[in-house]
Amino acid sequence: MGVRTALEWLSSCSGCEIAILNIGEDLVALLTEHLDIVHAPVIMDHKYYGQCGDEGDHLEIPEAVIGIVTGGVSNEEHIEVLEEMRKKCKILIALGSCATQGGIPALMNGQNSAQSFAEIYQSPSTDEGSSLPDQGVPKLLDRTYALDERVKIDLMLPGCPPNPAHIAEVITALLENRDPELPTKSVCDSCPTKREGKGSVNTVKRYVENVEFDPNKPISEMRCLLEQGFMCMGPVTAAGCAKRGAPSCIEARVPCRGCFGSVLPKGNQMLDMMNALASNGIDFKSVVDRRSLLRFSGAHGNLRPKKKAAMKEDV
């Protein structure tokens, strides 16, 4: 018998579950020798209210030692499922940037949730004139929450999606009863690009402009993209994506967009990035949509609807 493990997904795109599959061969050993998956709606049918779907009067998830939850908390059903996972799992892991810092679904936090609901179901681009669904649809919350805003979380593993090697490390460490070895610094910390200590321009360059690099030279010969004037969020983003000696996007000569969320779980990537830009001599007012810097970390109250007086401005 392996260690009983339960998986759940809330406001999630299932990319984190694909990251689990991407553990590859090691996953086969974990599943055949060490883990006993007792609940995983993404891969196996399990009724929350008994196998006929109507036997119980409250939502039930089997007991497990390890619980892994992906996605943020956006509606009342998510709260119910998450609280049941907390109750039934000894160790609860928040997997992926949606679970740890709100991720993409928390972009909605920049608007009023009722307006978003109407926009999704009744706008000209979706289904103008239709009625809002009201049967069997869980009530939307005021905003999307990271898991640790609603229940106690034992371990956070960010990334959109997270690094499969780190998922395997976390599971293996738990099985071996030790602390997992995970990166704790920023994306810049694992970036080999050349830094000269001062930016070359004082306004942010648009992504349509080309990054300067020589394809025949190693990445260590390319100048830091932030110093080139691109909005590279490496300084304010948690490390973890580097697989072949450089952060994934930097290796592709593309600026970091911040998908691992803030270095500190409750940090604010937008405010931190303003400081990083200033340190590089770049005017933060040249950033067209500053709130978009919270595209992966809008939970924890970071991203909120604009106040009317601030609507004309872009913050």
In single-letter form, the type of residue at position 29 comes to A
103 binds ligand SF4 (CB under 6 A): yes
277 binds ligand SF4 (CB under 6 A): no
Token pair for 166? 């780190």
Binding mask 4-43 for ligand SF4 (x = CB under 6 A): --------xx-xx---------------------------
d(CA 234, CA 226): 9
Q: CB within 8 A of 192, min separation 6: which ones?
A: 218, 219, 220, 245, 246
Alpha-carbon separation of residue 112 from 55, 87, 180 (angstroms): 37, 31, 39
- The correct pick among 5, 97, 268, 297 for binding ligand SF4 (CB under 6 A) is 97
- The correct pick among 71, 102, 229, 298 for binding ligand SF4 (CB under 6 A) is 71
d(CA 274, CA 287): 9
Residue closer to ligand SF4 by CB (options 250, 294) is 250
* Total residue count of the chain as it appears in this document: 315
Task: Give the nearest distance from C-beta 215 to ligand SF4 in angstroms.
Answer: 17
265 binds ligand SF4 (CB under 6 A): no
d(CA 25, CA 27): 5
- The correct pick among 20, 30, 155, 241 for binding ligand SF4 (CB under 6 A) is 241
Q: Which helix (H) or strand (E) holds 4?
A: strand 3-9
237 binds ligand SF4 (CB under 6 A): yes
Residue closer to ligand SF4 by CB (options 13, 120) is 13
d(CA 53, CA 61): 13
Part in contact with ligand SF4 (CB under 6 A); list of ranges 126-134, 171-179, 198-206, 249-257: 249-257
Instruction: List residues near ligand SF4 by CB under 6 A.
Output: 12-13, 15-16, 70-71, 96-98, 103-104, 160-161, 187-188, 191, 193, 195, 224-226, 232, 234-235, 237, 241, 247-250, 256-260
